[in-house]
Amino acid sequence: MKVPIRMITVATSFLWVLLIIFSVSAIYSMKDIRLDIGKPQTTITLDNELLVNFPIGIVNNGYYNLGDFNISTEIQDTQNSMMAREFTFISLIKTGETVNTTHQMRINITDMLQTHQNLIFNDTELQVNATVSIKAAELISLQVSSNSTMPWGAPLYNLTIATPKFTMQITPNSTNYYIVAIPVTFENHAFFDLNGTVQLSMYNNRNIPTGTGKIVLEAPQQSSYRADLELDVPVAGTTRNGHFEVLISTPFFNYGPLVIPYGG
Amino acid sequence: MVGETNTNPKRKPSILRRALKATVEGTILYAVYFVLSQFLAPLSEFVPGFQQIIETFVTVYIILIIVAELTSGSILQHFFNATKALFIIAYLMVSLGTGIFSLTFQGLNFVVDIRLFLIIALLLSLVGLAKSVLQTIDYVNERAELALN
């Protein structure tokens, strides 16, 4: 029995030495792995999608190959509801190799604003969760995650639609009409210019449309907008009370109808 | 990790030789630990208590090696060899737990998964324990043969 015991001793000792040297060198070589994440670059595509590109550089000067390199980012709103999620996967980074890649986040602003309508009007902080996972030397898996916030600027921040003003216009042929003016103000805090239209429709108390008007909306990013929505409505058919419906249409989102009663 | 020793009950080495062998083994093991700890030193900054875990393990392991060597040629040697193997298994399971660690450093959450290392180390420890049992059986067998003769 001595020979088998001796063989087991030699084999286990050899495997222990191998395992310890391998593990220690794998941990030690992690200091020679560098991950550089550059400044994000944002662009808006023709499909109204927000593209956020993160340039990533991975330098593997360690002793072993790196496998299953994965970067995942997700953006959540304040209620922790998922808004966007993207992955970048690199199967193998050999030792001595430098890999430059781009982690791209594609966010459909239209879908996002339709789902999270409070983002149209309210500035907020979006949660950005980033996770980087890597497998060193096929033995040790490492995952690093961080939580940060990203400011979100509302495109229709502090939207105010003031009380309509009625001005009667008397014409010689007795087809008198009202000029209805509604001041609209807001601030575009978004990172994109806002172009579109604001359509106003007036309804009498029998819910019959009495007039419509439309203005072109042009609000560059980080600017204040103020305009008077005007429409002409014939006196005949106009009742003491009723309501207006405001519809805002932009390439990024459609909002409305916003109902504003008039005349109590 | 459990070293091969003289299990022949007929040839029990002198106490001086056993003490010398125990000293040499202990010194070599400590030297290996000293060299490897230099490589693992940066890890101690991130993992609180890491240095202490390794130091405790090495201390107890060296003591068991010395005691096993000093009791070489007796049944106690096999008892301490088995204790060494069991100590490795127990220490791995207690200190490494499930093999997944998480810690927070400068606002970043780190999760390290060393389950594969843990499985290999546990399997090797089990082989070491099995070897100790075989050595004990061999020793008892030889003692029985000696008694019969």
How much is the mean pLDDT over chain A?
86
Residues A45 and A141 both lie in one domain: yes
Q: What is the pLDDT of residues A40-97, one digit of tens each?
A: 888 888 887 888 888 889 999 988 999 899 999 998 887 788 888 899 999 999 989 9
A139 contacts B130? CB cut-off 8 A:
no
According to the model, what pLDDT value does residue B3 have? 45
Q: What is the pLDDT of residues A207-227, one digit of tens each?
A: 888 888 888 889 998 899 998
Q: Which among A95, A118, A152 is the end of a domain?
A: A152
* Structural domain for A163, as ranges: 157-262
A144 contacts B135? CB cut-off 8 A:
no
Please, which residues bridge with residue A213 across strands? A200
* 3-state DSSP of A79-104: CCCEEEEEEEEEEEECCCCEEEEEEE
pLDDT in tens, chain B (149 residues): 444 444 454 556 788 888 888 899 889 989 988 888 888 777 777 777 788 888 898 999 899 988 988 888 888 888 998 999 999 999 989 888 888 888 887 778 889 888 988 999 999 999 999 999 999 999 999 888 888 87
According to the model, what pLDDT value does residue A166 have? 82
Residues A75 and A142 both lie in one domain: yes
Residue A87 is assigned to a structural domain of this protein: yes
Q: Which among A152, A183, A217 is the end of a domain?
A: A152
> Residue A245 above 60 pLDDT?
yes
Please, which residues bridge with residue B90 across strands? none
Q: Which of A13, A24, A142 sits opposite B112 (nearest CB)?
A: A142
ipTM of the complex: 0.80
Residue A16 is assigned to a structural domain of this protein: no
Q: What is the pLDDT of residues A139-173, one digit of tens each?
A: 888 898 988 888 889 998 998 888 888 888 777 77
Number of structural domains chain A divides into: 2
Distance from CA of A247 to the nearest CA of B (A): 45
Residue A7 is assigned to a structural domain of this protein: no
Distance from CA of A203 to the nearest CA of B (A): 56
Residue A198 is assigned to a structural domain of this protein: yes
B7 contacts A8? CB cut-off 8 A:
no
Q: Which among A136, A152, A168 is the end of a domain?
A: A152
Q: Is A143 on the interface with B (CB under 8 A)?
A: yes
Residues A190 and A105 both lie in one domain: no
Residues A123 and A233 both lie in one domain: no
Residues A34 and A148 both lie in one domain: yes
User: Which residues of A are less than 8 Å from B10 in CB distance?
Assistant: none
pTM: 0.69
- What CATH number did the domain enclosing A115 receive? 2.60.40.10
Residues A136 and A228 both lie in one domain: no
Distance from CA of B43 to the nearest CA of A (A): 8
Tokens of A237: 């058919």
Residues A198 and A183 both lie in one domain: yes
According to the model, what pLDDT value does residue B50 have? 81
Tokens of B73: 């040629």
Residues A39 and A148 both lie in one domain: yes
According to the model, what pLDDT value does residue B71 have? 87
C-alpha pair distances (Å), A144 with each of A32, A155, B68: 16, 34, 43
Residues A56 and A143 both lie in one domain: yes
Residues A139 and A224 both lie in one domain: no
User: Which residues of A are less than 8 Å from B116 in CB distance?
Assistant: 138-140
According to the model, what pLDDT value does residue A11 have? 92
The answer to whether the CB of B69 falls within 8 A of the CB of B18 is: yes
Residue A108 is assigned to a structural domain of this protein: yes
Q: Report residue A199: phi and psi, to 5°.
A: -110, 135
Residues A181 and A146 both lie in one domain: no
Residue A129 is assigned to a structural domain of this protein: yes
Q: Which of A12, A20, A24 sits opposite B128 (nearest CB)?
A: A12
Residues A148 and A248 both lie in one domain: no
Q: How confident is the model at residue A264 (pLDDT cuts 50, 70, 90)?
A: low
Q: Which residue has the higher pLDDT, B40 or A248?
A: A248
Q: Is A3 on the interface with B (CB under 8 A)?
A: no
B39 contacts A13? CB cut-off 8 A:
no
Q: Residue B32 and residue B109: Cα distance in Å, rounded?
A: 32
